[in-house]
Amino acid sequence: MLAGHNPYLVALSLAIAVLGGYTGLGLAGRILGKTDLQRRALLVGAAVFLSTGIWTMHFIGMLAAPLPADIAYLVLPTIISYLICALVVGVSIFFVVGSRPGTFGTGLAALLLGVGICSMHYVGIHGLAGPFAIEHDPLKVLLSVVIAIATAYGALRIFLDPQVGLRLAISAVAFGLAVSGMHYTAMWGMHVVPAGSGHDMAAMGASFQMSSQFVSLVVACLCFLVTAGFLLFLLPEQWGRADTPPPLAATEGPEIAEVPAIEPDPAPAPAQRGRIERIPVQSGGATQFVAIREVRSIRSDAHYTWVHDGNRERMCGWSISEAEAALDPTIFIRVHRSHIVAMPHVTLVRKEGDAAVVELDGAHPHQAPVSRARVAEVKARLGLTRSSAG
């Protein structure tokens, strides 16, 4: 099977998988610090581009394969293969971006993603119709599953790694290798035999079918979609606003406005700024305490406030305004209307448009957004600005 593949279409399939991975993972990486509606939109966009990249790569690979000339594609299995892919990819990305898991959690997400890629492939393969049957080598099927899971883990691990620069590009390449490596390994173990030697697919001929020419047209349109999405993603978020001067500091007040507590705290607010040693959190139905030196960040999310100790987040009964009033301002900064960070634990700062993102250390490093009104202060605290006037 592999010997007769069209090398140009094989290269195109890998490129589309990488571009789809770059766009989808990039959109997922921008979820942090957005509003609830923005997070949902970005999650949907990430799932759409990742699953479209996977699905398009698969069918480019099918067009590249030396399949019989009279082959057709059954509509229902073809559509189901895409839906499986979109659902599994969306759940995996939601889990990874939402909880920033460690090694075990990333492994579970990679397992789900790898199994989803394989399911999409084999459902799509068995959507082929014609006077033939398809057989698979069990060992190569197992190998394709292992490749999908292992390379998906590598892609997610790189995506979550605190390094910057080429991180997104490398994770996209790993994602592309996961999809294409699984596909071509599975094709290596696939055999087209005369009808009757295996399961008979001619019986499915009465179903709605698509010709290879129609599938080629659909794939071409999706290639343009993935490429356009990739190019649009490369544009900075503030692109097109160069002629509009940035608002003055006085107009940026809403960026750091206080987030009111949803539920009043029956306990009295902390009395003196910088004098507390522990923060009360809720865990397992009981109140526990996190030492101030362990706190990396405090995040307000809709109805809740969460304290991150470098390992996990736990809910706190204080509002973020009460926490800001109690914490030592020489250590903690309100970097965003919904985030407070401990500056000694910042290990990375990355510019994103007019704003920025900081990474905090710990067993499970995590990120926090920095509003554009706070970027200068954060850089100054980190020693990234010159003392002389600019």
- Residue 163's pLDDT is 43
Question: Residue 252: pLDDT above 70?
Answer: no
- What is the mean predicted confidence (pLDDT) over 258-267? 44
106 plus 206 within the same structural domain? yes
281 plus 217 within the same structural domain? no
314 plus 364 within the same structural domain? yes
375 plus 300 within the same structural domain? yes
Residue bearing the bigger pLDDT, 385 or 340: 340
Residue 263 lies in a domain: no
- What is the mean predicted confidence (pLDDT) over 142-155? 85
The angle at the Cα of 38, spanning 36 to 42, to the nearest 5 degrees, equals 120
- Residue 335's pLDDT is 92
348-366 residue pLDDT tens? 898 877 888 999 998 888 8
- CA-to-CA distance for 169 and 155, rounded, in angstroms? 10
86 plus 207 within the same structural domain? yes
Q: Which of 186, 210, 234 marks a domain boundary?
A: 234
Residue 241 lies in a domain: no
Q: Which of 209, 234, 259 marks a domain boundary?
A: 234
**Residue 360 phi, psi (nearest 5):** -115, 145
Q: What is the pTM of this model?
A: 0.58
Residue 11 lies in a domain: yes
- Residue 22's pLDDT is 86
290 plus 364 within the same structural domain? yes
220 plus 286 within the same structural domain? no
- Residue 99's pLDDT is 61
Among 44-53, 134-143, 226-235, 316-325, the least confident range: 226-235
218 plus 359 within the same structural domain? no
198-251 residue pLDDT tens? 444 444 444 577 777 777 788 888 888 888 888 887 765 544 444 444 443 433
pLDDT level of residue 297 (50, 70, 90 thresholds): very high
Give residue 18's domain range.
2-234
319 plus 209 within the same structural domain? no
- What is the mean predicted confidence (pLDDT) over 315-333? 88
In sequence order, the 6+-apart residues with CB closer than 8 A to the CB of 265 are 317, 318, 319, 322
Quickly count: other Cβ atoms within 10 Å of residue 100's Cβ: 18
Question: Residue 121: pLDDT above 50?
Answer: yes
**Residue 289 phi, psi (nearest 5):** -130, 135
pLDDT level of residue 136 (50, 70, 90 thresholds): confident
- Residue 295's pLDDT is 93
Provide the domain count of the chain: 2
Check which CATH number belongs to the domain holding 354 and give it: 2.40.50.1020
Q: Which of 234, 257, 285 marks a domain boundary?
A: 234
